[in-house]
């Protein structure tokens, strides 16, 4: 049977399995049910990989991209290529008396998953509600394409857009980079790279939606408190970062326990990456301080690029942070990446960068994507997205 037909048939069976999970788990919190659906896709993908049909990654990607949306009566939507990178452009149909805002959007998915399709509905919402031209970037994914491939694709597409704003009717003074999760990481890295540029329009703002911004410490309070909370487990967060860096998850245990970075390097960055910089109210759900562990040269050699700001933007020097544009950061209480956002918020504020911070006390990682889901819909996700739109409209 051709692979596509097999996967389509298998997807149908998987849908039935997911429905079974949903019906049998009605007393389970909605986030747990979403996680069971997601885990089922991973498990089924692993079975297919073991019997030689396809890789687990390709199956999960296929499942994620199955949903297609029809035409939008309020938007022109077109697929193009910017610097050999696929992009999807969303332009409001309604006439505008002036040039529009521009938003370059980088999707999440741990640098491994996600696509133009997975974030289609989100990008449509942003374009419609904020009356902006949105460019969604289909950057290369790991493990096939390791760091810095995704970063380079996002940077090059942003540069291309900034050089051709007039073609899309975009105001050069109102261009924002935006991303969720891994996309938030990429948005922060691109924003830092462009901060000192004088020959291009300056970015008006950056929007970071529960971003992952560092890989030095996976034992910060939020990583301990939410280590087993869907949709992003602590172990999975480290796994994704390693896949992006090296194309494999070697040294995962060392990264999780904190024995992957030399003590002197940790101390160098402790002024920026430390539980001491997390407000006390975020430690009340439980936090156990960890002893600093050293590492071997062999381990450090495999992950030393974790200290590069293009990979871990939280580690950028103050001289770079000071030049960053106005920022919006969204964090969720039940998210391992919560403290990455809190630490970056502090760094920005300490360096005089205006920050709008919105914290979803009842939110979890990935909640924004569920704002209008047929199966899973959360008021907090819609609330967070509306705050993002309000921020955009204020620019």
Which residues have a catalytic role annotated?
181, 335, 365
List the strands of the sheet with 100-106, edge to edge.
75-82, 85-92, 132-137, 100-106, 170-180, 205-209, 326-334, 355-364
User: Backbone phi, then psi, for 280, in 5-degree steps?
Assistant: -60, -30
Q: What angle do CA 323, 327, 331 make, to 5 degrees?
A: 135
Overall size of the chain counted in residues: 395
Rounded to an integer, what distance in angstroms lies between the CA atom of residue 284 and that of residue 381?
24
* Cα gap 226→209, rounded to integer Å: 17
Q: Radius of gyration (Cα) for the chain, nearest Å?
A: 21
In this structure, are residues 37 and 231 in contact, taking their beta carbons and an 8 Å threshold? Answer: no
Between CA 140 and CA 199 the distance in angstroms is: 27
8 A C-beta contact, residue 89 and residue 124: no
Query: How far, in Å, CA of 251 to CA of 254, rounded?
Result: 5
Distances 80 to 136, 174, 216 between C-alpha atoms, Å: 10, 22, 37
Under the phi-then-psi rule, with left for phi > 0, alpha for psi from -120 to 50, and beta for the rest, what region is 202?
beta
185 token code pair: 């990481």
CA distance 301 to 304: 5
**Two tokens, residue 234:** 């602590």
The residues with which 90 forms a beta bridge, in sequence order, are: 77, 134
Classify strands 100-106 and 75-82 as parallel, antiparallel or unpaired.
unpaired
HSE-CB of 221 using CA atoms within 13 angstroms? 21
């Amino acid at each position: 049977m051709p692979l596509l037909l097999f996967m389509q048939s298998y997807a149908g069976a998987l849908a039935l399995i997911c429905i079974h999970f949903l019906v049998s788990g009605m007393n389970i919190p909605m986030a747990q049910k979403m996680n069971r659906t997601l885990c089922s896709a991973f498990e089924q993908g692993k079975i297919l990989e073991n019997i030689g049909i396809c890789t687990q990654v390709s199956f999960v990607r296929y499942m994620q991209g199955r949903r297609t949306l029809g035409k939008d009566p309020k938007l022109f939507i077109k697929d193009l290529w910017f610097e050999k990178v696929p992009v999807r452009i969303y332009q409001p149909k309604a006439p505008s008396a002036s040039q529009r805002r521009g938003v370059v959007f980088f999707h999440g998915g741990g640098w491994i998953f996600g696509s133009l399709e997975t974030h289609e509905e989100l990008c449509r919402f942003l374009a419609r509600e904020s009356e902006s031209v949105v460019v969604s970037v289909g950057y290369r994914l790991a493990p096939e394409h390791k760091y810095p491939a995704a970063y380079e694709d996002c940077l090059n597409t942003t540069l291309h857009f900034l050089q051709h704003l007039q073609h899309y009717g975009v105001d050069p003074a109102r261009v924002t980079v935006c991303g969720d999760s891994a996309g938030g990481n990429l948005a922060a890295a691109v924003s830092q790279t462009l901060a000192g540029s004088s020959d291009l329009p300056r970015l008006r703002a950056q929007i970071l939606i529960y971003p992952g911004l560092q890989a030095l410490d996976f034992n910060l309070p939020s990583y301990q408190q939410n280590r087993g909370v869907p949709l992003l487990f602590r172990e999975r967060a480290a796994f994704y970062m390693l896949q992006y860096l090296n194309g494999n998850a070697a040294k995962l245990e060392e990264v999780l326990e904190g024995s992957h970075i030399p003590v002197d390097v940790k101390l160098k960055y402790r002024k920026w990456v430390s539980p001491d910089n997390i407000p006390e109210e975020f430690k009340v759900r439980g936090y156990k301080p960890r002893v600093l562990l050293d590492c071997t040269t062999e381990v450090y050699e495999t992950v030393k690029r974790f200290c590069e700001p293009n990979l871990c933007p939280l580690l950028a020097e103050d001289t770079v942070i000071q030049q960053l544009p106005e920022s919006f950061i969204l964090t969720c209480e039940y998210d391992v990446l919560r403290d990455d956002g809190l630490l970056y918020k502090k760094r920005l504020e300490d360096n005089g960068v205006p920050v709008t911070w919105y914290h979803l006390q009842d939110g979890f990682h990935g909640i924004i994507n569920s704002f209008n889901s047929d199966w899973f819909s959360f008021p907090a996700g819609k609330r967070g997205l509306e705050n993002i739109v309000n921020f955009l409209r204020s620019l």
